[in-house]
């Protein structure tokens, strides 16, 4: 049985921590974050079955100190993407496996590239350690859906569309479903999609279409945008000629975002405010609703899945693999809305597979490089049932 250190105590952490307990392969869990009271609140939901600590994950010596004290076998990083590299450094220093849900981003540029974390490949290999990158839903489950389709349905995949619909309503004028700073950086970035061996750049939100989800979830406007799994999937599955990522946004969300952008509130550079340096987007985050608190009021469903095209036995083929998740059911089960739930469950599953050495190896891995079968099985067991439809 492994000792697990979870870092970060936000919306995703609440679900991941409770699911790690439910999976039951960890002998001890320590939840540490910048604000210890948030860890304690999660520990209360976990009926005291975990311990908590304070840690600044930007500070490698502090992380090393905590790891030397607790002696984890594995760390699950559900803090922010800014902390990925410092936590990986501490894992290397202490001989600990590493799992996260989002790729590293420097604070001052919204870049979304795996380059920084892929640079750790040799160091993790030499140390005999496993780093699992992007074990959330997207990235995460969407990578696994693609790998599973390649293993069981295709000889080669040529086209991929990942479609992320949140058909839910939280009843707030404007709120984001996960960390507002990271979410707004992501949706305001230039769009990139993969076509004929390269990324093609287009203005943010410049391409939209209507999409009707299965099982009566509804019809929504989806917008093409860049998402980090496009980079690893097109690298590891080089037969993919075209790959696009689409996300639904309501007119109301886009109206607020446009105004916030126009008035400069989404800027990520420092400005001087009454003699103090502040970053407008970080200030905005402080006044927006906490995504972790949206569970109570969220209604409706999410529908996230992949449309995958390619060839099997010389014939063209297309399948759609998706999960539908109900905000109210998530709240009833774990006190969270569906975005935290759909991220926290795969984070816990990826961590459990690495901890049990069902997934093993030395180095830095993206999800599609691993055997998708045990992960797909655990999705069904731990709350994210999936469906596959043959489209032709």
Per rule CB under 6 A, is residue 140 in the interface with ligand NDP?
A: yes
Cα Rg, the chain, nearest whole Å: 20
223 close to 239: Cβ distance less than 8 angstroms: no
Closest separation in Å from C-beta 59 to ligand NDP: 8
Toward ligand NDP, which CB reaches closer, 2 or 86? 86
Minimum distance from residue 11 beta carbon to ligand NDP (Å): 4
Task: Pick from 43, 131, 182, 319 the residue near ligand NDP by CB under 6 A.
Answer: 182
List CB contacts of 294: < 8 A, sequence separation 6 or more: 170, 172, 175, 177, 337
Q: How many CA atoms lie within 13 A of 10 on its CB side?
A: 19
Q: Which range, of 10-18, 231-239, 245-253, 328-336, touches ligand NDP by CB under 6 A? A: 10-18
Interface residue with ligand NDP, options 17, 33, 52, 234 (CB under 6 A):
33
Q: By CB under 6 A, name the one of 1, 27, 35, 389 that touches ligand NDP.
A: 35
- Of the candidate residues 70, 118, 154, 178, the single one contacting ligand NDP (CB under 6 A): 178
DSSP-derived secondary structure letter, 197: T
Ranked by CB distance to ligand NDP, the top (closest) residue is: 10
**Residue 179 interacting with ligand NDP (CB under 6 A):** yes
- CA 58, 63, 64: angle at the middle one, nearest 5? 135
Structural contact between residues 335 and 14, judged by C-beta atoms closer than 8 angstroms: yes
CA angle 145, 324, 308 (to 5 degrees): 30
Q: How far is the CB of 125 from ligand NDP (least distance, A)?
A: 24
Query: Using the rule CB under 6 A, is 79 a contact of ligand NDP?
Result: yes
Which long-range CB contacts under 8 A does 220-223 form with residues at least 24 apart?
220/165, 220/167, 220/248, 221/248, 221/249, 221/250, 221/251, 222/163, 222/165, 222/246, 222/247, 222/248, 223/247, 223/248, 223/249
Beta carbon nearer to ligand NDP, 136 or 280:
136
Binding footprint of ligand NDP on the chain (CB under 6 A): 8-13, 33-35, 38, 55-58, 78-81, 83, 101-102, 134, 136-140, 178-179, 182, 291-292, 339, 343
């Amino acid at each position: 049985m492994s000792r697990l250190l979870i870092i970060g105590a936000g919306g995703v952490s609440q679900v991941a921590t409770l699911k790690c307990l439910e999976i039951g392969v960890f002998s001890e869990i320590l939840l540490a974050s910048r604000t210890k009271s948030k860890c304690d609140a999660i520990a209360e939901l976990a009926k005291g079955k975990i311990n908590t600590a304070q840690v600044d994950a930007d500070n490698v010596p502090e992380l090393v100190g905590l790891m030397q004290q607790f002696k984890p076998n594995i760390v699950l990083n559900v803090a922010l993407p800014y902390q990925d590299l410092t936590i990986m450094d501490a894992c290397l220093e202490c001989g600990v496996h590493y799992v996260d849900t989002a790729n590293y981003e420097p604070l001052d540029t919204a870049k979304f590239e795996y380059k920084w974390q892929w640079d750790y490949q040799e160091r993790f290999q030499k140390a005999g350690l496993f780093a699992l990158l992007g074990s959330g839903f997207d990235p995460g489950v969407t990578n696994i859906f693609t790998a599973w389709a390649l293993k069981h349905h295709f000889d080669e995949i040529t086209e991929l569309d990942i479609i992320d619909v949140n058909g839910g309503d939280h009843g707030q004028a404007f709120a984001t479903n996960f960390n507002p700073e990271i979410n707004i950086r992501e949706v305001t970035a230039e769009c990139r999609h993969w076509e004929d061996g390269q990324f093609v750049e287009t203005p943010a939100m410049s391409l939209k279409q209507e999409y009707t989800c299965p099982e009566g979830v509804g019809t929504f406007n989806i917008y093409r945008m860049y998402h980090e799994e496009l980079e690893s999937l097109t690298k590891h599955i080089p037969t993919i000629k075209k790959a696009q990522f689409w996300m639904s946004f309501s007119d109301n969300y886009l109206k607020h975002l446009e105004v916030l952008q126009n008035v400069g509130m989404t800027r990520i550079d420092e400005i001087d405010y009454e003699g103090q340096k502040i970053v407008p987007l970080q200030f905005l985050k402080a006044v927006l609703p906490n995504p972790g608190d949206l569970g109570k009021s969220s209604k409706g469903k999410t529908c996230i899945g992949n449309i995958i095209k390619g060839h099997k036995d010389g014939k063209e083929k297309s399948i759609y693999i998706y999960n539908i998740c109900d905000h109210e059911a998530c709240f009833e089960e774990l006190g969270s809305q569906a975005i935290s739930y759909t991220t926290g469950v795969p984070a816990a599953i990826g961590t459990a597979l690495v901890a049990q050495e069902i997934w093993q190896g030395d180095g830095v891995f993206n999800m599609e490089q691993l055997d998708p079968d045990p992960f797909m099985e655990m999705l069904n067991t731990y709350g994210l049932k999936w469906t596959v439809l043959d489209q032709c």
